[in-house]
Structure 1
Amino acid sequence: MPQPSIWSLLPFFLVIPLALLTRQVLPGLVAGLLVGAYMMRPTPVGGLEAAMQYLLQELASPDNLRLLVFLYGFGSFVGLVRVTGGVSGFARWMNKKVRTVRGAFGLTWLSSAATFMAPDFRIITVGPVMKKVFERLKVPASKVAFIIDATSTPLIALVPIGTAFVGYMVGLINDSAGHQGLQVPAYRLLLQSLPFNFFSILMLLYALFRSFVQGKPESDVENGEDCPPGIRTPFRTSPQVAYLEDLCSQPEGAEPKASGASSEHEADSDFPDPVEIVAETSTPRAIHLTIPLVLLVGFTFLLTWLDGAAQSNTLLGALARANAAKAMLLAVFATLLLSLLWYRLRRQPLQRLLFGFLQGGNEMMGVNVLLALVWALTAVSEDLGFIAYTRNLIGAAVPPLWVAPALFLVGCLISYVIGSTFGAWAILMPLAFSLASGTETPLPLVAGAVFASGSFGGFASPLSDNTVAMATVMKLPLMKYARRKLKASLIVIVVSTALYAWVGWMLSR
């Protein structure tokens, strides 16, 4: 086993510059893993064998495997509600309920109760509908886009149940804590970190102000209608966005158009979404979303409470002490089984259901690969002495006051450049736990700072898929819209940094 030295930092710190250079996280993780593996076994074949051994070792962990299966099952759940017309049916229902600007913004916020599972899911579901509604009410598209965006990643990062974010966050906390030898319930630590996600909390407060307090909205100089055709965004309108826009303009009761070749499916367009292409042939039914969603949330609460009830007599105590990862996995698969049965009773073709199940799950495989590489990289870095070295190097030099602000600012830079919430969390969380252990900084504070920094990138970065999807839906120039979000976010970042410093100072007294 190598002795802890400055070289133990090399594999992990390769990730950040490569991610910034390529604006992708996976190349940096692969490079870091390979470098660490060859440092452990410096022979042509030995390094590859070591890298594969670390991957298989982490994948064989029951907790890690449970998380991967949960994410696949969650993707399958989203795929089912899309191919059965649940998403488009919910969109059509919302379009009927709005009469005033205040009511439209109120419904935009309330819609998060049915679309909180993932940011892209919320944007594609709510964006096209509210665009039509606010056009009728003469509200600028840029303001509408900002409010929907602010109630996507920042809001979902604070929802402690029933989202893909929760499973991913619990997995990162569990893995990072395990490599530090810390025996802390991952879900309880997640709950404790949520109040310290200052960026998400402050951005939601700002969005509330923009929605209901701010006076007459500014003129919409960014509306895509003023732009020459073809330069509104770097991508052509996606099939799912075009379909939902057409859907909202159809007379009630009209059948959705059949899928097939169109100008939106040409070879030079953005890659079409196969789930949405199949969904085009399904009659929109809001109940196909609401019933499975109620099942998912209900089973998650019930099974989490049952798992922790033996350890606490109170509801909150039981939820905090339960094995949330196990409960969420059981809830997802109970929901999938009952939903499949219910869809069959609703005369949904079995072939359609199987396609939605498999394709939706496959869409989460990118996240699963990311997680597996993070786990393997953390394991090889630990064996190289990364944790012991950073604790000795930084523990005595950095006061707890500066750990959370520094992590937050570095994470904001990384997440903005790479445009990935999950990627920024994956890069920073192991480092954050190592620094927290060496400086005795409270774990909920550093975890909250990492989650806040990733939320900023997912919300504000022009490379974020959320920003690109929203600009496409609302027909806004991408870079102008991204700059508008960045301008508002910078104020929130300054206030958040000050709050992290203040909380660190208060806790160090």
Structure 2
Amino acid sequence: MEASWLSIIPFLVVIPIAIFTKEVLPGLIAGLLMGCYLLSPTLLGGMQTFLLYVVQALIDENNIKIVVFLYSFAGLVGMIKATGGIKGFVEKAAEKITTKKQALTITYISTIGTFIAPTFRFVTITPIMKALLKKVPMSTKELGFVIESTATPLIVLIPVATAFVGYMVSVIQISVENVGGQFEPYSLFIQSIPFNFFAITIILVGIYLSFFHPSHTDEPTMIDGEDQEDWHDCHPAVSKDLPIKPWNLLVPIVIVIGLTLFLTWWDGALQGYSFFEAFINANVLQAMVVALLITVFLSIAFFLFQKFTLSGLINSFITGGNDLMSVIVLLSVVWGLSSVTDDLGFTGFVTAHTNWIPTMFITPLMFAFGALVSYFIGSAWGTWGILMPLGVSLSLAGDVSLPLIIGAVFASGSFGAFASPLSDDTNTIAKILGLSVMDYARFKLKPALIAAGISVVLYTGMSFLM
């Protein structure tokens, strides 16, 4: 379909509904429905078209691989929790840490083994810090800030073996395909990482607060005696009822990271590329999914050897996988929305009507707008799904560096995940630390806004240079 102003109507529906309901999925579904009825303006035709787009999204080979990856990843984490892997890591680490410097150092070093997902980071690190709160001269809010700055902001910068990678590559892929681009989506993701300026800046702020900034707050830093909640009660993953088996965390993580790197290299090497070129030119999604499936089967064998029951492992795998079903539904609607807006002529419309925007302002405006949206909906993934098609279209229309604007879209979602009182990150860490969600969100908003302001300046500067 040729360029039409009708193509922007689904987005004009998505964003207000998402902000008003504080939920991403209702807005996305409403936007997809609107697009389908614009294409098939009959009562039955619009609904049939809605079903068609969702089904087409789910039967795409790469999309199915991403669904398998996300479900299997969450299932593996579920088994690690149920077999005491997380609790074992927490127990052993808490026994050996006695000072603030040790506690903060382990917070950063532990990212090597716990970067799978933000919640995974929180349930492995926060109980350790909570157990040591008497010895750490920091307010609970500062402690939460430091831990959270090593969660989503750090995970979005890691290109392998995280719950984010498959989704991030997917939204790039569908956005690039909609504009008829021939770019390799994983390569674009790698190139965009240095341009996620918010994530990089907020990590640096967290390091500063950790090691160079004394606590200046009237909030008590110690919790005495009976007032101190047992950290075993702060999350089911560290429950007293679970065994203490740190190797049940470490072994699966080592296997999945090692296999992912090896199979990625192997795929590229079979195509005749040199060592470093192999990683860029390989079918990374295929390598990640195969590595993960092998890890799941090896982990099950490892857990069975320890006398865990097969039925218990299967139940924990399914429970963990089901935790991400909402994300899988979100993805299917995002894929459908991107396709329907493309069929309505969205790319052509953006190309024809945005040439009045000075090139130097496209990327910083994209980041600022995305940060605003992500703050009010509280979802990085939702923000990326909504705005990546717009960002890629603007990049090609305004001759802006594609990795730069992709990095800006990812940075805008990272802002909301970190700063929004609605985000899962904010609510999870506040619950574990026993903080008021709104008080904690207000505490970290100022440094988040400072990091966002620095990011706008950097995006403006890079727009001059690229």
Q: Secondary structure at the match of 1:433?
A: helix
Q: Which moved more, 1:216-225 or 1:36-45?
A: 216-225
Q: 1:104: how far off? A: 1.3
* Counterpart residue number, 1:361: 321
Taking the TM superposition and a 5 Å limit, the aligned residue runs for 1:406-485 are 406-485=365-444
Can you give the 5+ residue segments of structure 2 that lack an aligned partner in the other structure?
Answer: none
- The equivalent residue for 2:343 is 383
Superposition misfits of 4+ residues, deviation over 6 angstroms: 222-226
SS at match of 1:136: coil
- The aligned residue for residue 53 of structure 2 is 54
Deviations 1:69-116 (A, max 9, x none): 111111111111011000111111110121221111101111111211
**Which of residues 335, 346, 356 is equivalent to 2:295?**
335
Deviations 1:358-400 (A, max 9, x none): 1111111111111110111111111111111111111x21232
2:216 to 209, 215, 218: 218
How far has the Cα of 1:138 moved from its partner?
Answer: 3.7
Q: 1:143 aligns to what SS in structure 2?
A: helix
Q: Hey, what's the Cα distance between the residues in 1 that align with 2:142 and 2:440?
A: 10
For 1:158-237, what aligned pairs fall within 5 Å after superposition? 158-214=157-213, 216-221=214-219
| Residues 489 and 67 of structure 1: CA distance in aligned 2, closer, same or farther (over 3 Å) | same
Q: Tell me, yes or no, if structure 1 residue 69 matches structure 2 residue 29.
A: no
The separation in 1 between residues aligned to 2:413 and 2:386, in whole angstroms, is: 10
Find the aligned partners of 1:179 and 1:110 in 2 and give their Cα distance: 40
Distance 2:230 2:77 in 1: 18
Deviation (angstroms), 1:244: 4.5
Q: Find the aligned partners of 1:145 and 1:348 in 2 and give their Cα distance.
A: 34
CA distance in 2, matches of 1:224, 1:436: 50
Deviation for aligned residue 1:243: 7.5
1:398 aligns with 2:350: no
Change (3 A) 1:49 1:184: same
Q: CA deviation at 1:223?
A: 6.8
How far apart are residue 350 of structure 1 and its match? 1.2
Give runs of aligned pairs for residues 341-356 of structure 1, distance below 5 A. 341-356=301-316
Counterparts of 1:460 and 1:127, CA distance in 2: 18
Kept in 2: contact 1:305–1:322 (CA 8 A): yes
Which whole-Å CA distance do the structure 2 matches of 1:308 and 1:358 have between them? 33
CA contact (8 A) 1:104 1:134 kept: no
Deviations along 1:215-249, one digit per CA (max 9) or x if unpaired, are x31235277979xx9xxxxxxxxxxxx774359xx
Q: TM-score, normalised by structure 1?
A: 0.88
Secondary structure, aligned partner of 1:490: helix
Deviation for aligned residue 1:467 = 0.7
Structure 1 residue 185 displacement after superposition: 1.2
Residue equivalent to 1:497? 456
Aligned pairs for 1:8-407 within 5 A: 8-214=7-213, 216-221=214-219, 244-246=231-233, 276=237, 281-311=241-271, 313-394=273-354, 396-407=355-366
* Residues 386 and 350 (structure 1), Cα distance of their counterparts in 2 relative to 1, 3 Å cut: same
Code of the aligned partner of 1:116: F
Query: 1:280: Cα distance to partner?
Result: 5.3
- Tell me the number of residue pairs that the alignment of Structure 1 and Structure 2 aligns: 464
Q: Secondary structure at the match of 1:114?
A: helix
Could you tell me which amino acid in structure 1 is paired with residue 328 of structure 2? N
The answer to whether the 8 Å contact 1:124/1:469 transfers is no
Query: How much is the aligned-residue C-alpha RMSD, in angstroms?
Result: 2.0
Deviation string 1:437-494 (CA, Å, 9 cap, x unpaired) is: 1111111001100111111111111111111111121122221211111111111111
Deviates more, 1:41-50 or 1:205-214: 205-214
Once residues 223 and 47 of structure 1 are traced to their aligned partners in structure 2, the CA distance between those partners, rounded to angstroms, is: 58
Distance 1:291 1:243 in 2: 28
Q: Is the 8 A contact 1:88 1:125 kept in 2?
A: yes
Change (3 A) 1:224 1:55: farther
- SS of corresponding position for 1:164: coil
Cα pair 1:9 1:386 within 8 Å, conserved = yes
Is contact 1:85–1:285 with CA below 8 Å preserved after alignment?
A: yes
Contact 2:137 2:215 in 1 (8 A): no
Does the 8 Å contact 1:11/1:381 carry over to 2?
yes
Q: State the AA in 1 paired with 2:432.
A: V
Unaligned 5+ segments in structure 1 are 230-241, 248-272
Secondary structure in 1 matching 2:133:
helix
Indicate how the Cα distance of structure 1 residues 110 and 12 shifts in structure 2: closer, same or farther if over 3 A, else same: same
Per-residue deviation at 1:314? 3.8
Deviation of 1:48 (Å)? 0.4
Q: 2:137, 2:221 within 8 Å by CA — same for their partners in 1?
A: no
Pair 384,79 (structure 1): closer, same or farther in 2 beyond 3 Å: same
CA contact (8 A) 1:405 1:500 kept: yes
C-alpha spacing 1:224/1:419, structure 2 compared with 1 (3 Å): farther
Tell me the CA shift for residue 315 of structure 1. 3.2
| 1:357 shift after superposition | 1.0
In structure 2, what is the Cα distance between the partners aligned to 1:219 and 1:393?
Answer: 50
Q: Distance in 2 between matches of 1:331 and 1:294?
A: 11
Kindly provide the amino acid, as one letter, of the partner of residue 232 in structure 2: E
How far is the alpha carbon of 1:318 from its aligned partner?
1.1
User: Aligned to 1:367, what secondary structure does the other structure show?
Assistant: helix
For the residue of structure 2 that corresponds to 1:135, the secondary structure is coil
Query: 1:287 corresponds to which letter in structure 2?
Result: W
Structure 2: distance between partners of 1:222 and 1:311: 60
Give, in angstroms, the shift of residue 326 of structure 1.
0.7
